[in-house]
Structure 1
Amino acid sequence: MVRENENFIDFIDYTKEKDYMMNLITYAISPTIAGYKPSSIITISNNYKGMYDLWYKYGDEYINNINLKVFEITRKEKLIILLFYNEKLLAETLFREDNMELLMKFGYSNIMSLDMCLQLLKYRYEGIACPHEVGIFLGIPAKDVEAFINCNGKQCVLCGYWKVYHDREKALKIFENYDRTKENVVKLLKKKIEPIKMIEMLVDEISVKV
């Protein structure tokens, strides 16, 4: 699991409100910005530093400066759940044979468009707090999603960004990539890199020199 960095939180608390919002979201979704992950889901609310209000002040500017699309999954009073996604990578992920085989159990099909899949996910969120298939959208292997659904108390072999039941070594490599992008965000913040410039650098994570 990503190593939470208290210094990072302390650091961004002292920045301007727009930079604070952008830096916090960038940190959370950096593996998706860098192309390691098809999508990231974040919940934005005023329960944490007035983030909901900040999003409505600066969200459009942020969206215009990232290489991702944003889909609103659900909205409640002073709370919004957003999916930040790489359109090409998410489509490839969802329509891969093993993933679609599992998704079909929840009403999806390979003749649906990406937008239709997103709309169905949104609909299912209305009835279920967090539908199981969201794991596929987030890039979790279908075998692990299915094992989690049917685990019946089965112990996972690794607990990180998700509960791993198969291929521990492959999962560890993925977790390392996710961790590295978050660590790069912290290093870039310490260098006082502006949020928009940081996003540009993370688009090609390999080229980030920190």
Structure 2
Amino acid sequence: MNCRLELGRFTYKNDVQMKIAAHCAQVFAGVKPSNAVTLDREETFSLTQALKDTGIQYRLLYADAKRCVWLLYREQELEQYLMKREHETFMRDCGYDSVQLNDMFTILCKNYWEYKNGRKGFPHELGLILGYPLCDVKGFIRHQGHSYLFSGYWKVYGNPEDTRKRFEVYDLVRYQIIKQVQHKKPLAQIAASYTNYRIHKQY
């Protein structure tokens, strides 16, 4: 089965749970520490209801008159990821005194708001926070988004074979979770079923 081809057949524009599944399935599956999703302002209550009892946390990164950018994350996984020595060093180089999540989010939200309002450049540390490999985040900065090996969920500058396999897993769990949401399975049940990640062949 070609998961990427199958994913192109889903429609989810007017369903908050489907939007969450489409953009954040890898977080629910436990194979990525965080992901971002953009929703209309009036969908905020639906977001909070959908995430009840999932173990997934959410943080508002940015909002304008119409839309909100939310970061969905697994708290323990994200904190452990950022506390890796090389990741913590990179975050400190980006101006973060601490990678404790509350401290980190305060600075990230400020940087992202200033970027969206044209006051400063893109906060590249967001790539690391989203779970992108550090070599790819640094490669993107070094090459200004050009000269990448290939692109998928992000632009890849190193370890191409490992990343292709990772993208295949991302596609698969995204397909699985969208399919389950399509069949009206609550996100809390889906998140619980992936506590110990395994590939569900039936999907």
Shorter-chain TM-score bucket reads 0.7 to 0.9
User: TM-score by structure 2 length?
Assistant: 0.84
Percent of aligned positions with the same letter in both sequences? 24
- Cα deviations by residue, 1:24-66 (Å, 9 ceiling, x for unpaired): 2122201011111010011112xxxxxx32333x222112132
Q: 2:148 aligns with which of 144, 156, 162?
A: 156
Q: 1:79 aligns with which of 63, 67, 75?
A: 67
SS in 2 for 1:128: helix
* Structure-2 separation of matches of 1:106 and 1:176: 31
Contact in 2 for aligned 1:75/1:81 (Cα 8 Å): yes
Matched AA of 1:28: H
Q: 2:42 aligns with which of 53, 57, 60?
A: 53
* Structure-1 separation of matches of 2:193 and 2:52: 16
4+ aligned runs moved over 6 Å, structure 1: none
Please show how residues 1-210 of structure 1 align to structure 2 within 5 Å.
3=4, 5-9=7-11, 12=12, 20-45=15-40, 52-56=41-45, 58-109=46-97, 111-129=98-116, 130-151=122-143, 154-189=146-181, 192-196=183-187, 197-206=189-198, 208=200, 209-210=202-203
SS in 2 for 1:101: helix
Uncovered stretches (5+) of structure 1, i.e. residues with no partner: 46-51
Q: Residues 33, 186 of structure 1: CA spacing in aligned structure 2 closer, same or farther, 3 A cutoff?
A: closer
Contact in 1 for aligned 2:136/2:157 (Cα 8 Å): yes
* Structure-1 separation of matches of 2:55 and 2:131: 18
Cα distance, 1:171 vs structure 2 = 0.8
Q: Residues 64, 170 of structure 1: CA spacing in aligned structure 2 closer, same or farther, 3 A cutoff?
A: same
Cα distance, 1:144 vs structure 2 = 1.1
User: TM-score by structure 1 length?
Assistant: 0.81
Cα distance, 1:170 vs structure 2 = 1.4
* Structure-1 separation of matches of 2:146 and 2:43: 42
Q: What does residue 49 of structure 1 align with?
A: none
How many positions carry a matched residue from both structures?
A: 193
- Cα deviations by residue, 1:103-162 (Å, 9 ceiling, x for unpaired): 1121113x4522101111001112223411100001111111111111157511121111
Uncovered stretches (5+) of structure 2, i.e. residues with no partner: 117-121
Contact in 2 for aligned 1:40/1:138 (Cα 8 Å): yes
Contact in 2 for aligned 1:67/1:203 (Cα 8 Å): no
* Structure-2 separation of matches of 1:37 and 1:69: 13
Matched AA of 1:72: L
